[in-house]
Amino acid sequence: MAFTHFFTDNVAVELVGGIPPRHKIEGTDSFARYGQIGSAKQWSPTVLAKWFFGGADSKFRPYVGAGLNYTWFTDEKITNSTFQTQVLGGGFPSTSTVSTDSSLNPVLSVGATYAITKDWFVGLSVSYLPLKTTAKIDTTLANGQHSVTEAKITINPIVTFLSVGYRF
């Protein structure tokens, strides 16, 4: 869902949010053999400043935008019991909790809107969001031993957004 406010015919600020996607976390390098090792939901509300080309009465209006995104994760978990036992538990039964740091990230966007009527329009955009954060895995073995592992996470998603909108 997006809310946009025009300050002039060409300058607007947009707030974007929505239903958080669930990411499958895949093992890489030496952990690739485990496949999916976990999952998490990503919340990432975004504020964009946009420059719209053409006049306010133009049917087709391309735009460029830049802004900030604040990302946090919920429902983080290890989903692969083999990975849990062999890697995190050192071959022993264990339990783990996962937490991920929140992060503030730049966003770049290009797109266009097309006026269907005076009030209704459709839009399409493509945005790039270079995201970096740190995940912490807190593991407790059955014998009570405890360890904390940190992993740097880099996600560079290209996000597409198709919208139908109404002007007030």
The pLDDT tens digits for 38-76 are 999 999 999 999 999 999 999 999 999 999 999 999 999
Nearest CA to 161 among 116, 136, 128, 130? 128
pLDDT given for residue 144 in this prediction: 85
Task: Say how far apart CA 166 and CA 135 lie, in whole Å.
Answer: 40
Predicted TM-score (pTM) of this structure: 0.81
Q: 59: which 2 tokens?
A: 């049917």
**152 has a pLDDT exceeding 90:** no
More confident residue, 131 or 122: 122
Percent above pLDDT 90 for the chain: 64
Residue type, 119: D
pLDDT given for residue 149 in this prediction: 86
Nearest CA to 140 among 100, 99, 88, 91? 88
Domains (range + CATH), the chain: 2-166 (2.40.160.20)
pLDDT band at 26 (very low <50, low <70, confident <90, very high): confident
* CA quadruple 140, 152, 39, 30: dihedral sign: negative
**16 has a pLDDT exceeding 90:** yes
